[in-house]
Amino acid sequence: MEKQQEQPMKMLKKRNVLGPVATDFTAANTGNWRIERPEVDYSRCSKCRTCERYCPTNVIEIRPDDQECVYINFDYCKGCGICTNVCPRQCIQLIPEVR
């Protein structure tokens, strides 16, 4: 076994642990996967929260009092487009991502 692997394994053995143990809760930078991104027509949004509930990455938040009432965390949005497809008013569409 390589040294860099050996050291942590020895430590684990000492504590009666058999495999690698996750000690950090982390997030990958999935936002940079995007080739398209959702664009919302806020004026047509009825704030029904359908997109919020169906977003697989859980990055959509409805903020009823804001003018931009659909808040999307683009650090993680993968640009899958599910929100555009489930919106009953079809007020979200995918547009090419520009960086």
Interface ranges with another protein (CB under 8 A): 20-31, 33, 53-59, 61, 73, 75-76, 78-82, 84-86, 94
> Smallest gap, in angstroms, from Cβ of residue 92 to another protein?
10
Query: Backbone phi, then psi, for 7, in 5-degree steps?
Result: -60, -55
Query: And the tokens for 58?
Result: 């859980």
Rounded CA-CA distance 91/68 in Å is 13
> Smallest gap, in angstroms, from Cβ of residue 88 to another protein?
12
Instruction: Please identify, using beta-carbon distances, which residue of 61 and 69 lies nearer to another protein.
Output: 61
Instruction: Please identify, using beta-carbon distances, which residue of 37 and 45 lies nearer to another protein.
Output: 37
Cβ proximity of 55 and 44 under 8 Å: no
